[in-house]
Chains A and B, each alone.
Chain A
């Protein structure tokens, strides 16, 4: 039996597996793929968080799109941020979202501040619907690791 050829590594050689504090570029906008909000999302989220079902079954709980945007942020053409901790956020709810709406998340980092261990990064994020209207937006403060010393 001939041995199978080695599978190529998923990560291109030399490409960073994570984005560290030093690697973060300011004012570079990132846009995620879309995600259609479904009854399944609402049911799973309602069950997990015990968010009571409103009378309108198409109603999307306010906090669900924000939670989904953190996963959408992993699907941009860039390695993930080396986040040490999520420190806080400020958020505005501008338009209601309904089952059937398709959201995308747009983000940009305009502020970063170096600390002894890691650095603080402020990400501005908007969740937009299929018509391009901003449904929710705000600022997230993250503690990001510095590149490990060789």
Chain B
């Protein structure tokens, strides 16, 4: 249980505004070499998968790929441009699969759907379960999973 609610949503949707089955589609974003280099610098993850173009020529992928967690972070930003749970909620859990690579220059967007609404142990909040897919420009699902979020309830 989260001990204190950190994110409030006075301008956004409240738990009561959501319905199971509601769907959201984010704008797209092109993942660039710059994004990957900045993420390596920020996270400290300099794995050759993301940083050594020559090594990767001979690999499974044939070229450098974005960090999986960079894709996760970018999809969270994309989702927050429409999905109320991403914009105003906080995470309680994630189950996530990296199904395929995000290559430098790929353009990804997020499709999400409210899969479940339930009670939360944190007072004044509801628990929202989302199904999310990260989709590239060829329509391939490169990441997908289930995310659980706390969202504020309307004050009585």
Contacts and interface: CB of A to CB of B under 8 A. Distances in A.
Among B7, B68, B90, B94, max chain A CB count under 10 A is at: B94
A97 B93 CA distance: 15
Nearest to A94: B2
A91 B73 contact: no
Contact of A62 (B59, B70, B91): B91
Interface stretch (B74-82, B111-119, B123-131, B132-140): B74-82
Contacts, number: 116
Contact of A51 (B38, B68, B80, B145): B80
A115 interface: no
Q: How large is the interface on A (under 10, 10 to 19, 20 to 34, 35 or more residues)?
A: 35 or more
B96 A93 contact: no
Interface in B79-124: 80-81, 87, 90-98, 101
Interface stretch (A22-30, A66-74, A123-131): A66-74
A88 to B, nearest CB: 4
- Secondary structure at the B interface, as helix, strand, loop or mixed, is mixed
A50 B91 contact: no
Given A63-B91, A93-B90, A95-B2, A48 B8 contact: no
B94 A89 contact: yes
Given A48-B42, A66-B69, A92 B2 contact: no
A96 interface: yes
A66 B45 CA distance: 12
Nearest to B98: A86
A47 to B, nearest CB: 9
A48 B87 contact: no
18 contacts: A48-B38, A49-B70, A49-B76, A50-B80, A50-B81, A54-B6, A68-B42, A68-B43, A68-B44, A70-B43, A71-B44, A73-B45, A80-B47, A86-B69, A92-B93, A93-B92, A95-B2, A96-B2
Interface of A: 41, 44-45, 48-52, 54-56, 59, 62-63, 66-68, 70-75, 80, 83-96, 138
Interface of B: 2-4, 6-8, 29, 35, 38-39, 42-47, 49, 59-60, 67-70, 72-74, 76-78, 80-81, 87, 90-98, 101, 145
